[in-house]
């Protein structure tokens, strides 16, 4: 079971500082590029905006969306498009998800969690497996979330676990309670399957 650290009442600046420290350490530990995967949705972007101003060597950082909607990058629902608009000017290389892609080892796999326990676009109905042979999957959530009714492409659990650390940013008491139940193995949801298989450190900011 992974070591899981909960950090309560964290602000965006706290999380950006945590990420900067982890990415700086990864950059200092090797000469080549460093990869990170980040979530979509509204929560990450204020944090990423702070991180983009923090003087990291972005030209050595590859940023992967953990998942995306099957829409063009210029569509408002595109995670890749929003990430590119924010971090490409800083120098980062943005890598759109594509099946058949060689997924790297991530310094940090940053994830959100839905109220139904989904991570990335691994919804409960998709029955994600910790030994999935594919690094990336195309799938259709059921039901389709009304705020984003699109087919998805997503990293699988093994791809997310191929990381030095897992990071969660979870807002709201209901989600926090579900995360705690998943930590304790009391639910069989995608979040619980990931945490149950994780062996690296997990940090959850609430």
Question: What pTM was estimated for this model as a whole?
Answer: 0.95
Number of helices and strands in the chain (H, E): 6, 10
Cα–Cα distance measured from residue 83 to residue 64, given in angstroms and rounded to the nearest whole number: 9
CATH fold for the domain made of 4-205: Rossmann fold (3.40.50)
Peptide bond just before 108 cis, omega within 30 deg: no
Query: pLDDT by residue (tens digit) across 94-145?
Result: 999 997 779 999 999 999 999 999 999 999 999 999 999 999 999 998 888 8
Where do the domains of the chain lie?
4-205
Give the CA dihedral 167, 171, 173, 177, nearest 10 degrees.
-20
* Residue with token string 């980062």: 92
Query: pLDDT by residue (tens digit) across 148-190?
Result: 899 999 999 999 999 999 999 999 999 999 999 999 999 999 9
Using an 8 Å Cβ cutoff, are 191 and 118 in contact?
yes
């Amino acid at each position: 079971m992974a070591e899981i650290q909960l950090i309560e009442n964290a602000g965006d600046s706290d999380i950006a500082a945590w990420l900067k420290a982890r990415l700086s350490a990864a950059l200092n530990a090797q000469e080549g590029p460093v990869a990170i995967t980040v979530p979509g949705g509204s929560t990450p972007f204020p944090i990423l905006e702070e991180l983009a101003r923090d003087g990291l060597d972005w030209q050595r950082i590859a940023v992967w969306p953990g998942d995306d909607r099957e829409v063009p990058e210029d569509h408002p629902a595109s995670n890749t498009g929003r990430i590119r608009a924010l971090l490409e000017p800083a120098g980062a290389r943005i890598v759109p998800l594509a099946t058949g892609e060689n997924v790297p080892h991530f310094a940090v796999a940053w994830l959100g969690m839905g109220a139904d326990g989904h991570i990335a676009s691994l919804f409960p109905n998709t029955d994600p497996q910790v030994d999935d042979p594919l690094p990336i999957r195309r799938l259709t959530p059921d039901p389709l979330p009304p705020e984003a009714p699109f087919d998805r492409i997503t990293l699988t659990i093994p791809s997310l676990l191929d990381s030095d650390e897992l990071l969660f940013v979870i807002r709201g008491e209901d989600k926090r309670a579900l995360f705690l139940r998943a930590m304790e193995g009391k639910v069989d949801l995608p979040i619980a399957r990931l945490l149950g298989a994780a062996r690296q450190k997990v940090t959850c900011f609430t």
